[in-house]
Amino acid sequence: MTRPWRLRHKLLLGLALVVGIVMTLLAGTVQALTSHITTMKTTDSKLVELDHTEELRSSVTQLVHPAEATKPSEEAVLLQQRLKEARQKLDQYESILQDTLSRRRDPDSGHMESNLIGDLRTWLGNYEKALKRAAELQIVDGQRTLSDDPEVAAAHKQLLQLSNELRSAIYEDMFRRISDAKANHRRSMIIVITCCSATLLLVAGLLYFFYGWVFHPIRRLQDGVHRVARGEFGQPIVLRTGDELEELANAFDDMAARVHATYADLARQVNERSRQLVRSERLVSVGFLAAGVAHEINNPLASIAFCAEGLQRRLHDLLSRYPHEAETIRKYLEMIQSEAFRCKEITQKLLEFSRVGERRRETTELVELVQAVLEIAQLLPNCKDKQIIFQPQQRITALVNAQDIKSVVLNLVVNALDSMEEGGELTIVVQQRGAVAEMIFRDTGCGMSPDVLENIFEPFFTRSRTGKGTGLGLFISHQIISQHDGQIEATSDGPEKGSTFTVRVPMQPGNAAVAASETGPMGIWLGHEPPVASVSRRAA
């Protein structure tokens, strides 16, 4: 699979194309301008050469019989002077040509002009020699002049032809330079028109791709940010650009998902804390109510139980007379005593719950405490044909009230045994997590539904299968653990899937913050079991 192009690679490609077109356009423009400047300079130099060529040609043309000469001697002198002027004109032109060549303004580097100058010098020399011979051999004849000498006339004719060729060579150089300039102009125009067309197409393409590569993805990102700002986390930002913007969108979606999870966890915690606050208010109200009711009812219940016992003793003789009524009366009296003591036990628990202040704590070995409770629990009738597995991970010492923690352990063990059928299994694990002692009670009993889990620690809430529960055991256990700055949690996968109760208490007073640190940011539990119901006195 080909690797997707990065956004920077796309932008670099577009920039390279733009730079390439601009450089090509610049090269064409520079070429056209250079050609124009070179043509102007060449034309300027060639016009100067042409002016001197015309002067040279004029001097060569005058190498004929002078009108003012009346004698052959005078004609020879005048022709020598005119020959000297022609040579001076030729030297001047040669100097101008050398200046043109030094400035590199001649298209053919002066080869033709240089050859013509050499030929002119040669024929000027031939003209001079012919003129001297004609002057020496001249016969005194009024009808014959030096210019009419065949050799002189031939040399003069050749000089005129060479001067005309020199002028034609200059014209050819100018026409050649102009032709080159026209060709360069056409080439530059083609380059400019092509580059302009390519630039327009490139700009249109870049605008199109910019919309697909940058503008549209950024707008999608902006819309996604606005949705998250409004609290809408359900619609992710979908980009298929294969570049940094897609990575940015994916990273933002991940961040939004984490924010959503954090938001949901905060909502859950707020809901949990609200329930804890309501529960705490209930606890305060129930505490005051329990204290008053217990004190008011405890004495009458004691009187009822005492009177029932007294009646049972005093009616012993009377019941012997009426044996058919004895069993019924004894049953009713025993029922009065049993229910009176049962009510007294409930009021006693309420009194214990409503007490104020901390009970004395001492260093306690939790493994030994749990072992002692299990030795008692194994003697209970509901432990028959049920297995208890105790798995202490290490010896753990904590500063707690041993009797209170023992009552909590006993209550959790008894509840687990009551919830299981024969063959059930209760697993107890005692371990240390940092500065926190953790006790886990995992049974294979009847389990709990979510509504039961939500109210499991409420006072007088019970789902005991035996029908003997008062609904105060877990309530008081929760109160005891809260007084120890700990936590007690209940989890279950559902009815008939067993339950797990986890008790955490700091090993030293003041380590409640350490216990809370076992949960991750925003209250996410980091342990083996996810928390379902967690109540802490401090959190409340």
DSSP letter (8 states) at residue 390: E
Class of domain 7-210: mainly alpha
Going residue by residue through the chain, which has 540 residues, state the pLDDT in tens, using 9 for 90 and above.
455 667 777 778 878 888 888 888 888 888 788 888 888 888 888 888 889 888 888 888 888 877 666 676 777 788 888 889 988 988 998 898 888 888 888 877 778 888 888 998 899 899 888 888 887 776 444 446 777 788 888 888 998 998 898 888 888 888 888 888 888 888 888 888 888 888 888 888 878 877 777 777 888 888 888 888 887 777 787 777 777 777 787 888 888 888 888 888 888 888 877 776 776 666 666 665 666 666 567 666 666 766 777 666 666 666 666 666 666 777 777 777 777 777 777 777 666 655 544 567 889 999 999 998 998 888 788 888 889 999 898 888 999 988 889 889 998 999 899 889 888 999 999 999 989 999 999 999 888 888 888 888 877 777 665 555 566 778 888 888 888 889 999 999 988 889 999 999 998 876 544 444 444 333 333 333 333 333 222 222
Residue 386 buriedness (CB in 10 A; 0-12 / 13-18 / 19+):
buried
Residue 362 buriedness (CB in 10 A; 0-12 / 13-18 / 19+):
exposed
How far lies 62's CA from each of 13, 58, 81, 133, 246, in Å?
72, 6, 11, 20, 91
CB 282, CB 45: distance < 8 Å: no
How far lies 124's CA from each of 62, 92, 95, 148, 476, in Å?
13, 15, 18, 17, 141
* Tokens encoding 377: 């629990």
pLDDT of residue 272: 77
Architecture of domain 359-540 in this structure: 2-Layer Sandwich (3.30)
Strands 425-433 and 487-491: unpaired
Cα–Cα distance measured from residue 316 to residue 323, given in angstroms and rounded to the nearest whole number: 10
Strands 533-535 and 499-506: unpaired
Cα–Cα distance measured from residue 417 to residue 400, given in angstroms and rounded to the nearest whole number: 25
CA angle 143, 147, 151 (to 5 degrees): 115
What amino acid is encoded at 157 in this protein?
K
Within 8 A by CB and 6+ apart from 392, the residues are 367, 370, 429, 430, 431
Q: Which string of b and e fits 310-319 if b means at least 16 CB within 10 Å?
A: eebeebeeeb
How far lies 39's CA from each of 26, 46, 171, 181, in Å?
20, 10, 13, 6
Where exactly are the structural domains of the chain?
A: 7-210, 359-540
Within 8 A by CB and 6+ apart from 201, the residues are none
Cα–Cα distance measured from residue 434 to residue 288, given in angstroms and rounded to the nearest whole number: 37
pLDDT of residue 458: 78
Within 8 A by CB and 6+ apart from 320, the residues are 326
pLDDT of residue 36: 83
Q: Which string of b and e fits 207-229 if b means at least 16 CB within 10 Å?
A: eeeeeebbeebeebbeebeebbe
